[in-house]
Amino acid sequence: MCSKDKIQIVVAGGGISGLVYCWKLEQQLSKHGISFEITLLEKNARLGGKIETERYKGIAVERGPDALHMKGPEFISLLDELELKEEMIRPSAGGFFIYQNGEFQKVHEGLLRPFPHNLRAIFLNKDFSLFQKIRALVGGCLPFPSLQKDAPLSRFLRYRFGKRLSQSLFEPLVGGIYGASPDKLSTAYFYSDLWKHRFALPLLVLRIWLRSLFGKRKGRPNFIGMATLRDGLASITSQIEQKLTQTKICTESKIDSVVYHDSKYFLKLSDKSTLVADILCLALPARESFQFVSQLAPELRSNLTDIPYTSSAVCTITLRDANFTKDFLGTGFIIPEEECSAVAACTFTSKKWPGREIENEDILRVFLKERGDFRLTGTPDETIGHIALSTLEKLFKEKLNCTSIHIKRWEKTQPLYFPGYPDLVSQVTNTCQLQFGDSLILLGEIQSSGIPANALTASKSATLTANSIIKRNILSHSLPSTPEDIEKKAVGA
């Protein structure tokens, strides 16, 4: 790479990961006076990936994810840079429910985490026996010496809460959230920070419990939990897009193949044109990224082709004059896998988020997963809508007046994060690092899940890429690059 030429960077994927990566890379390279050109390729006609917000009677309605699951202040700092921090809103009070054995059971908010952050989350639950409550508390004070390698999430939960409590509540709850049996899910992936510090877990639990007993410090902001933005999550992607002043955005541009030769990437696009890049960032759905990795590193193909993928759909339903939404004392519910329902969860948008109420109407978001004999692939939208609506009518024993149904589906795009998946990702990234150095970046669902996690991972990756480019630029200026430069330096000496 010649220091006098522009560094050619191609980013594949215009979702949250690709957008943040372009934005942060622009910032840092411009600040150091680096000559560069970023090209962002997006196969769809719009940017944003799964994030998509529409308006219905002036109300923001999400077609993709509807919440930000935050674990700390870092993502809020990112929103502050985008001038969106003040647009954050928290869910309305009301609680969440789990549908089990033919009835709805209320779940305390403190139980929606890998271990309760509030002692009352355990003791106020009347469905737990005294022994189960004590077992859960004692389990939180034990390290996990027997779990040296990644383990199924069910095993982790049973070790933590006891078998009976885990099977009756936590496994159905987690399975409903992630749309798969905890026996098939990776602890190291979903609770990566907790897993890394599993041997010091007693100290973490003690700290959380002390905070729950004595309360948070007055005035201390809450950086943990769910939130959204007043005008919808698409506010994030549209704000980032406005900040991309030095990125060439190409929508409806799909990569057919990629070849690495002579330290450069040659990308053949669907319109038969070719792009050449010094640096390639794959911020695509995991399945697409792994397909291109297999082209670049054929030795990984056998491992990557066996990864199972899941499908999901969101059915947005508008109801008129529904009685059950008035009587239901919560903002949504989860249906665990053992109930054999294609519907995994449902949230009441009109009740969940402040300012999104519509007179005499309710907006519900029904989440469907492939369970039992139900398959999304090949199933018409009309059938999916019928399944969602009939499930609600069966659960609440009410004939519903549906005024509109909108289906959004993702087929075989998200990997099933099985035990050992993080080790596979490490193998892939290590192999790519050895072959391509810092010139190949893998982002998106390969590395993390959720908007905040993907955005922060992309931001950190942009910093690493910028530092690598800056270092190479300094080195290229400090070394003689032509015979004339060498002769001048020799004469000077």
- Which string of DSSP letters, residue by residue, matches 273-289? -EEEESEEEE-S-HHHH
The answer to whether residues 2 and 475 touch, using CB atoms and an 8 Å cutoff, is: no
Q: What is the pTM of this model?
A: 0.88
Give residue 398's pLDDT: 92
- The DSSP result for 7-24, as a single string, is EEEEEE--SHHHHHHHHH
SS3 137: helix
Give residue 491's pLDDT: 47
Give residue 116's pLDDT: 52
Give the separation between CA 389 and CA 396, rounded to whole angstroms.
11
What are the Cα distances from residue 42, in Å, to 24, 294, 425? 18, 20, 24
Sequence-ordered list of residues with C-beta below 8 angstroms from that of 225, at least 6 positions apart, any chain: 69, 70, 90, 109
Q: What rounded mean pLDDT belongs to the chain?
A: 84
Tell me which CATH code domain 108-224 carries: 1.10.3110.10
- 309-415 is classed in which CATH architecture? Alpha-Beta Complex (3.90)
Give the separation between CA 117 and CA 94, rounded to whole angstroms.
19
Higher pLDDT, 46 or 208: 46
**Residue 343 in tokens:** 């519907």
Least confidently predicted of 4-18, 179-193, 212-226, 370-384: 212-226
Is the confidence at residue 489, as pLDDT, over 50?
no
CB atoms within 10 A of CB 257: 12
CATH 3.50.50.60, the chain: domain bounds: 7-49+233-307+418-478
Is the confidence at residue 478, as pLDDT, over 70?
no
Give the separation between CA 123 and CA 213, rounded to whole angstroms.
13
Burial class (CB in 10 A: 0-12, 13-18, 19+), 79: buried
Nearest C-alpha neighbor of 16 from the set 230, 239, 190: 239
Give residue 219's pLDDT: 46
pLDDT average, residue stretch 315-322: 93
The answer to whether residues 439 and 276 touch, using CB atoms and an 8 Å cutoff, is: no
Express each pLDDT in 216-254 by its tens digit.
Answer: 544 445 556 789 999 999 999 999 999 999 999 999 999
Residue 486's pLDDT band, with cuts at 50, 70 and 90, is very low
Sequence-ordered list of residues with C-beta below 8 angstroms from that of 458, at least 6 positions apart, any chain: 16, 17, 18, 19, 20, 21, 24, 283, 443
Sequence-ordered list of residues with C-beta below 8 angstroms from that of 404, at least 6 positions apart, any chain: 316, 317, 318
CATH 1.10.3110.10, the chain: domain bounds: 108-224
- 7-49+233-307+418-478 is classed in which CATH architecture? 3-Layer(bba) Sandwich (3.50)
Give the separation between CA 264 and CA 2, rounded to whole angstroms.
12
pLDDT average, residue stretch 407-421: 89
The answer to whether residues 189 and 422 touch, using CB atoms and an 8 Å cutoff, is: yes
Give residue 100's pLDDT: 82
The answer to whether residues 389 and 402 touch, using CB atoms and an 8 Å cutoff, is: yes
Give residue 338's pLDDT: 78
Burial class (CB in 10 A: 0-12, 13-18, 19+), 366: buried
Buried residues in 426-437 as b, exposed as e (16+ CB within 10 A): eebbebbeeebe
Q: Percent of the chain having pLDDT more than 70? A: 82
Which residue has tokens 């690092």?
A: 433
Choose the most confident range, by mean pLDDT, from 45-49, 103-107, 484-488.
45-49
Residue 170's pLDDT band, with cuts at 50, 70 and 90, is confident
Residue 448's pLDDT band, with cuts at 50, 70 and 90, is confident
**Residue 149 in tokens:** 């390698």
For the chain, the residue count is 493
Sequence-ordered list of residues with C-beta below 8 angstroms from that of 389, at least 6 positions apart, any chain: 317, 400, 402, 405
DSSP state of 216: P
**H helices of 280-380, where?**
286-296, 301-304, 324-327, 349-352
- Phi, psi (degrees; rounded to nearest 5) at 148: -80, -35
Residue 378's pLDDT band, with cuts at 50, 70 and 90, is confident
Higher pLDDT, 329 or 21: 21
Is the confidence at residue 206, as pLDDT, over 70?
no
Express each pLDDT in 117-152 by its tens digit.
Answer: 555 666 666 667 777 777 776 666 666 655 567 888
Is the confidence at residue 281, as pLDDT, over 90?
yes
Vertex 181: Cα angle to 178 and 186 (nearest 5): 70
CATH 3.90.660.20, the chain: domain bounds: 309-415
**Residues 340, 344, 346, 347, CA torsion sign:** positive
Integer-rounded Cα Rg, in Å, for the chain is 25
